[in-house]
Amino acid sequence: MSLRHDYTRAEVEALLDLPFNDLLARAHAVHAQHHDANAVQVSTLLSIKTGGCPEDCAYCPQAARYHTGVEAEKLMPLDAVLDKARQAKAAGATRFCMGAAWRSPKDRDVEKVAAMIGEVKALGMETCATLGMLTQHQADRFKAAGLDYYNHNLDTAPEFYGQIIHTREFADRLDTLGCVRNAGLKTCCGGIVGMGESRAQRAGLLQTLANLPEHPQSVPINRLVQVEGTPLDGTAPLDPFEFVRMIAAARILMPDSMVRLSAGRAEMSDELQALCFFAGANSIFYGEKLLTTGNPDTERDQALFARLGIVPMPVEIESGTVHADIVEDGRASEAA
């Protein structure tokens, strides 16, 4: 199938409305055509600067204005970040994502993060960062430092966005994605479901992602992690089958992209994750924590992979460039 960037809302809604088995069958066929259906890309996410964020994202425990028990911390030192990256690599992760709870990085922080990127890249891992809004100069600097991916999620549909975030506009997110693409960086861009949005609004998120000038190389689909003290605590949980529908539709609309199970995986059963892998998910975050919320530990993931016959995707090093064997983070608060 050819890649499209002109989907209508009605087309995406019709896709999500398909009978469940028909949708999964179609998604799995697309997945098998474009990817190894039994290989999953494994990433690890580290919060290099936690808490104290001035934004008001209703899902985020790192927002300074909410009382969630997350304390503001300073940017981690380089050596501590490298220790975590080495541990992640030893546990089987091939990509290392660094997240900071900033609205946007200050110039004094850019060089510190650039140094982290260069040192992690030297370990033979793909590098990813999620640091908030970027200027073109900042995106160019991170590219020069060796950054492979930049995560900047759309979060939700344009028409629902104002009910979740008031401290920045939807257009601001599109502007940062433009800077990232212009710098030659790969994009990691998805959203969060289960925030009280409708299926039609979930279709709006997928439509916007699929109609970007370039499909994101990684598309994280996060299921809301409810944290006491945030405005979305107490939201009615999303039907698990609706989550699988999102995975399947993302796979069909963006066939070459990596579709990632991100936040909320700790609450997912093995059976639900298996359905997601069948529907086209082929990337996960690996390790015990996603920035400030829990994540299945590596032993549980390894056991699940063994039961399903899934293997982690390898990376190859060629001429100093790290890339996934198969063509391929977040959010600045919980996942990428």
Residue 65: how many other CB atoms lie within 10 Å: 12
Annotation says 60 is catalytic: yes
Annotation says 141 is catalytic: no
Task: Write down the catalytic residue from 26, 179, 188, 331.
Answer: 188
- Closest by CA position to 128, among listed 172, 171, 88, 173: 88
User: Around 279, how many Cα atoms within 13 Å sit in the side-chain half-sphere?
Assistant: 27
How far apart are the C-alpha atoms of 109 and 127, rounded to whole Å?
A: 17
Contact residues for 147 (Cβ-Cβ < 8 A; gap 6+): 117, 127, 128, 129, 185
Task: Write down the catalytic residue from 26, 95, 97, 251.
Answer: 97
Q: Which tokens sit at 182?
A: 């212009």
Q: Determine if residue 16 is left, alpha or beta; phi over 0 gives left, psi from -120 to 50 gives alpha, anything else beta.
A: alpha
267-to-62, 209, 262 alpha-carbon distances in Å: 20, 25, 11
The DSSP secondary structure of 115-184, one letter per residue, reads HHHHHHHHTT-EEEEE-S---HHHHHHHHHHT--EEE---BS-HHHHTTT--SS-HHHHHHHHHHHHHTT
How far apart are the C-alpha atoms of 35 and 255, rounded to whole Å?
A: 9
Task: Write down the catalytic residue from 128, 179, 189, 276.
Answer: 128
Q: ∠ CA(104), CA(203), CA(209), 5° rounding? A: 40
Task: Write down the catalytic residue from 26, 245, 251, 260.
Answer: 260
Annotation says 276 is catalytic: no
Catalytic residues: 53, 57, 60, 97, 128, 188, 260
